[in-house]
Amino acid sequence: MVKNIVLWVVIAVVLMSLFESFNSGESQGRTMDYTTFVHEVSQDQVQEVVFNGQVINGVKRSGEKFTTVMPIHDSAILDSLLTHNVRATGTKPEEPSLLFSILVSWFPMLLLIGVWLFYMRSMQGGSKGNPMSFGKSKAKLLSENQVKTTFADVAGCDEAKEDVEELVDFLKDPSKYQKLGGRIPRGVLMVGPPGTGKTLLARAIAGEAKVPFFSISGSDFVEMFVGVGASRVRDMFATAKKNAPCIIFIDEIDAVGRKRGIGMGGGHDEREQTLNQLLVEMDGFEGFEAVIVIAATNRPDVLDPALLRPGRFDRQVMVGLPDVRGREQILKVHMRRVPVAKDVDAAVLARGTPGFSGAELANLVNEAALAAARANLRNVTMREFELAKDKLLMGAERRSMAMNEHEKINTAYHEAGHTIVGRLVPDHDPVYKVSIIPRGRALGVTMYLPEQDRYSHSKQYLLSNICTLFAGRIAEGLMFGDSAVTTGASNDIERATDIARKMVTRWGMSDKLPPMQFDQDRDASLYLGGGTTQTMPISDKTTLIIDEEVSGIINSCYAKAKSLLEENKDILEAMKDALLKYETLDALQIDDLMARRPCRPPVPESSDSKDDDKSDKTEKSTDDKNSDDKNVRADDDKEPGSESKDARQDDKSGARDGDETTDTDDQDKK
């Protein structure tokens, strides 16, 4: 609207200017200097002149037209004209039209107003209508016919679907509850890690209930102007009431619903005003207007308690990471859009991807489809799914990275040490694959996959993890001497130390200290507004005991891992040779080496997706590897000596710790 007004104003001014120029430029004959004009008058060559101010237009007796300008006032020219019988007339000086004068005088101001309105409109994201309506809600409305998602499109969260089924029933038939005096929850808070399907579930609720669906992000409420957030909240709820029954979905509500009093803004912080208005609106519905607020967040601990009380968000629905059955269902949903080969088994893939969210499983299917397209296959085979899984778990291969022979040998010993100790210590996840092909920031990779989803960890499991983490460094020292130990184990040392310290300070696994918490969660402290200098109130004596206990655990595990490798030095040599020969060893080849048998060559892979022999080999290999739970990923708990994907990729020393890429947990997905 503003653009059109400014454009038409500019066009009008240009047209008026052109019109005036054409009028003023009407042909008046050739230009003559004033001296020549006086001379020709004296020679009786001029027939008629017209005075227009100092401009003189005339016609010679020959009929030629001319124009000249009187430089100064010359009264003698009139006597000369009369003497030589020249007809002289005068005209009033031409003035611009009233419209043109108004446009010229007001154009700068109109242009400034237009630019200001355009700037204001652009600040509102191009919202239509009144440019000053920046206080209007930015929620996107999807009508009941536009929402096509149903519960059939949602998989892997059966409990969450059960929790929201009565919301659908209420939106379809609210009188059923009203006549019995029941009150449906006015707000439902969906809590869960990123990518678990919170938004999808909210859309499915609207699709099942066939009601309008308002969608907005928590960050859309706050702008640079004070009061805009509260105004948008009021407008959003007013619009929702007009479309009742309906659903309002606020994604990432922690952007606007954080606890008040935290931060530098104080009581006049814009987010705080927005939150206050949201609290009022959610608890201020008049009667049963069938407006249900659904919000999603992965940080419920930072939300204001007033937002979570009954009457606002009465119910919290946990949308967690899917279990093995849920992962299988999610994979089947995404495989509908992909032509898969006969050898693809969603159940096998589900067992191999614990800790994966729905979004990551969708990405897994997509990566497999891309791999098949690069290989010019007609459909996606199990091999492509395995390659995609390895890429997501360990990172993309960097075969172009040049490593000298000594570094390759050192990396092979390092990874072989991880693998051997991982196979020998009790209560440890089975070794799935080991490779000396550089991936991401790591020079080598050792993958561990648990036999089942883990939600808690025993002390023995943690100790075994520490042993395995130190095994790579120990193997380097055994084969090349302590002076040749490299920086490749820097991340292993960091993670092992973290596990040991948490065992003492958080999990009560110390023999000298009572089961008390002596350490504070630094990440949670920062999220909740705490400073980086906050510490637990512990004495110097207790701190000394903690250090002694942590050192004791580290030394004990280090000695145990060293003893295991010294006893199996022949296996270490054989595994090093096999890694240098094949670069990657699977579970079957590792079994051969651990049993001191010759290492079998890897199963050849055919590029033809229709090759039945290839499918049989793939299925046979998969069935054999199921005995080791090869297709199951790392456990689901943050605590066991593992770290997030970002941390694993940030091994600054270029660590060879492949297990750092896979011995991971549920937090990798968060």
Cα dist. 335→332, 343, 377 in Å?
5, 13, 16
192 is in an annotated binding site: yes
Burial of 375 (0-12, 13-18, 19+ CB in 10 A): middle
Among the listed residues 415, 476, 549, 639, the single catalytic one is: 415
Model pLDDT for residues 27-40, shown as the tens digit of each residue = 456 788 888 888 88
418 is in an annotated binding site: yes
Distance of alpha carbon 373 from alpha carbon 367, whole angstroms: 10
195 is in an annotated binding site: yes
Smallest Cα–Cα separation from 220: which of 255, 195, 185, 192? 255
Handedness of CA 43, 49, 51, 57 (dihedral sign): negative
pTM score, whole prediction: 0.65
- In contact, 471 and 635? CB cutoff 8 Å: no
Q: Which letter does DSSP use for residue 183 in this model?
A: -
pLDDT at 243: 83
pLDDT at 474: 94
Model pLDDT for residues 553-605, shown as the tens digit of each residue = 999 999 999 999 999 999 999 999 999 998 888 888 899 899 988 888 876 65
598 is in an annotated binding site: no
Smallest Cα–Cα separation from 475: which of 446, 450, 455? 446
> How far does Cα 350 stand from its chain's mean position?
25
Residue located via tokens 């499983």: 361
- pLDDT means per 10 residues, the chain with 670 residues, are 61 66 56 84 85 83 85 79 82 68 76 77 53 59 74 83 82 79 82 87 84 84 70 85 85 85 55 82 65 88 86 85 89 91 89 87 93 91 89 79 84 93 91 85 82 84 95 92 87 94 92 85 46 63 93 95 93 92 88 89 56 42 40 36 35 39 36
Smallest Cα–Cα separation from 46: which of 20, 15, 68? 68
Model pLDDT for residues 539-558, shown as the tens digit of each residue = 889 999 999 999 999 999 99
Q: Is 415 a catalytic residue?
A: yes
Q: Which amino acid is at 359?
A: A
417 is in an annotated binding site: no
185 is in an annotated binding site: no
194 is in an annotated binding site: yes
Residue 522: how many CB atoms within 10 A of its CB?
A: 12
Smallest Cα–Cα separation from 421: which of 644, 664, 659? 659
> Phi and psi of 613, rounded to 5°?
-60, -40
492 is in an annotated binding site: yes
601 is in an annotated binding site: no
Burial code (b: 16+ CB inside 10 Å, e: under 16) for 568-604 equals beebbebbbebbeebbbbbbbbbbebbeeeebeeeee
Q: Which domains does the chain carry?
A: 24-90 (3.30.720.210), 140-260+269-318 (3.40.50.300), 324-394 (1.10.8.60), 405-595 (1.20.58.760)
Q: Which amino acid is at 423?
A: R
Smallest Cα–Cα separation from 630: which of 669, 594, 665, 588? 588
